[in-house]
Structure 1
């Protein structure tokens, strides 16, 4: 793999963080245990990272609780909190190229996406919540003249944030930024596949002036580190983005421990509906392709089900395939790469398994379907499209979390909506039509937390993000996320 000189030079200077961040210090796991952090671009070992155990989590939670109770962050005024979070955003911006490189190495996403999309969005999230933290107001009740009644938002306490590997820093900031903005302490557990930017974030937060113990980062495995965090009697809330099975375990752990609050952003099997009166078929074709193949299909809102009106289906699917064929698959560190490596060999094999099942169930392969770039040692699956998908097929019902698109056709609006809603998930959905009445009807009838009309993923930090049904509950982004990390207290004062 021949890389541009500037990338090669930065790689030579790059320091890979490996230690946990607990109570303001960079530390090894108490046991001394580590785990191998492998890059999906070539299957090679990047570094060995501290494998935090139950004892390490206990120390991190104790540090977070101590910091919260003594008020070193909680009791700082809005101006002081703003200054620290704005400084953190500045430091992230200063080190943006390094963060992008860490992200690309760790999870296989194209460096151009990490540099131009993921890291800037993470920085913007930090700045947005810094600016928003003094915009959360209480309320005064309609009390009798001899009483003053009011309600105030108070921080919950210690937040356990468990984040995924597909957008490691961006998803971390969706949780860390609003939790800190409300005055909480945080214990951040990154996915074992993607520890590097979380550990770097912990270092930058300390440099920005966040007091010791307010943000702790504990890398490790979900079944050990994540479970210990979720079972802790001194954690007030778990904010999680990830799979449905893990979400169910977290609810069980809440019941087994202190009934801590749980916020879950889980999987999706998102439909994108294209009617024959679509106002821009080329834009829809681009959205259909990039909506499922962006980030190698490792996106919770991936438009993995394409529903096309029968009268235009053949030509439309052909155009989607042409767009996908034009995506450059290659080394994630090559700035010209548009489609990188899957995060792990296991995830690659999962996608290949669904491809095999789709063929055996009678779907017609239109494009792709195999592993590529085997000679690199990395984990690459080409963009893949199957037509003639049936609602009962595994590819129509189960989340692949990989670059596999399934196509179905419909003839009426009612049929399209019924097919779209025929899933246990309800994260995102979209429709393309020139009929404003159909658009508004569809937006109302689609059972999803996010609905896009004549576009895909057309949203930003100002709007809430979360799902219906088995896609979870609770919302990231927007002012609603601030309320998620707070308790609402009512106070009544009798006037004498």
Structure 2
């Protein structure tokens, strides 16, 4: 009723002589805080839409991998961008990242990294100027393999989903759910593929897995592997550090993993695969969603019924079907729950970096 009354007043008072325009404007100053894994890709996917929308950008690279952002800054200068449009500020997250998150002149924060730090950034936004925040955070993504899958293909797909980039990927398919009819065969073949993985100097063309990023990450991975053994998971292969120089971890496979184990619940961010047995669709949907995260997910099956049933029920921003890590600029990327909010890529990517303004104009009729 109130809306109807307002409409009647509008028609009577203005005689319908109104034009409304929606204007899309840049946010302003956008701070982009990127992680150390795949730093060039992480920067490209954020700076592109931010600049295209007309904003200025401040990049805070991870302290472990600052050189790539600085090199891109040199290319920006060579391309003769206007001064001040693209900026790089190096430093530690607790100091530099915190300062950007709290700064009253920063209008937008985009952060890719851990859930714990994402919460701090959101809190800082609330304490300062309520700046817009986009967060792509952690994950513990399920990859579900059904009985009707080709076992050999599924083994290699699941291997890729876990071990790419040395396991240091937010949406890695680190929880491999396998239906009971093919479980034993899948575990055996997965252990064989992992054991054959070549680990070593990344400058060697035969190497497919290099070191972890630093000693801190190495120790975290080894501690979680140890917890898996202590909690009763079966270590099929790997589980140890390689040598005493560099931060190399053996490709590791666990079977007989329970949902309550730390290796099944915490983001390991390393070359560690958990293979978990399931019986039914309803069961695997419930167990897939039994996590604080919701970034990626996958399903391997020949059944369209399985595909659509699982895809609609899983709480994740992306569902890969008979593939993994296929990302295109045309499709949105982001997470549910504590994997963050907002979307990168896709048709609405620019809107993460813009404001909408409504301009309503009364057209004056000289004869009235």
Shift of 1:288: 0.7
Q: Does 1:196 align with 2:67?
A: yes
| Aligned 8 A contact 1:156 1:487 in 2 | yes
Q: Does 1:214 align with 2:79?
A: no
Q: Which residue of 2 aligns with 1:93?
A: none
Shift of 1:145: 5.3
Q: Does 1:353 align with 2:234?
A: no
Matches within 5 A, 1:1-400: 146-278=17-149, 280-374=150-244, 377-400=245-268
When normalised by structure 2's length, the TM-score is 0.93
Q: Which residue of 1 aligns with 2:324?
A: 456
Shift of 1:472: 0.4
- What's the RMSD between the two structures over aligned residues? 1.2
Distance 1:225 1:289 in 2: 37
Distance 1:336 1:144 in 2: 76
| Aligned 8 A contact 1:269 1:398 in 2 | yes
Distance 1:254 1:459 in 2: 30
Query: Alignment partner of 2:360: what SS?
Result: strand
| Aligned 8 A contact 1:297 1:403 in 2 | yes
Query: Alignment partner of 1:425: what SS?
Result: coil
Distance 2:306 2:126 in 1: 43
- Tell me which protein shows more helix as a share of its residues: 1
Distance 1:149 1:256 in 2: 34
When normalised by structure 1's length, the TM-score is 0.70
Query: Alignment partner of 2:187: what SS?
Result: helix
Shift of 1:357: 0.4
Highest Rg: 1 or 2?
Answer: 2
Count residues with an aligned counterpart. Answer: 351
Determine which of 487, 491, 495 is the counterpart of 2:355: 487
Shift of 1:336: 2.2
Q: Which residue of 1 aligns with 2:8?
A: none
Distance 1:248 1:291 in 2: 27
Q: Which residue of 1 aligns with 2:10?
A: none
| Aligned 8 A contact 1:284 1:455 in 2 | no
| Aligned 8 A contact 2:151 2:182 in 1 | no
Q: Give the unaligned 5+ runs of structure 1.
A: 1-142
Query: Alignment partner of 1:197: what SS?
Result: helix
Query: Alignment partner of 1:254: what SS?
Result: helix
Q: Give the unaligned 5+ runs of structure 2.
A: 1-13
| Aligned 8 A contact 2:190 2:253 in 1 | no
How big is each residue's C-alpha offset from its partner over 1:96-137, in whole Å with a ceiling of 9 and x where there is no partner?
Answer: xxxxxxxxxxxxxxxxxxxxxxxxxxxxxxxxxxxxxxxxxx
Deviation beyond 3 Å, 4+ runs, structure 1:
none
Determine which of 284, 300, 304 is the counterpart of 1:432: 300
Shift of 1:274: 0.4
Query: Alignment partner of 1:428: what SS?
Result: coil
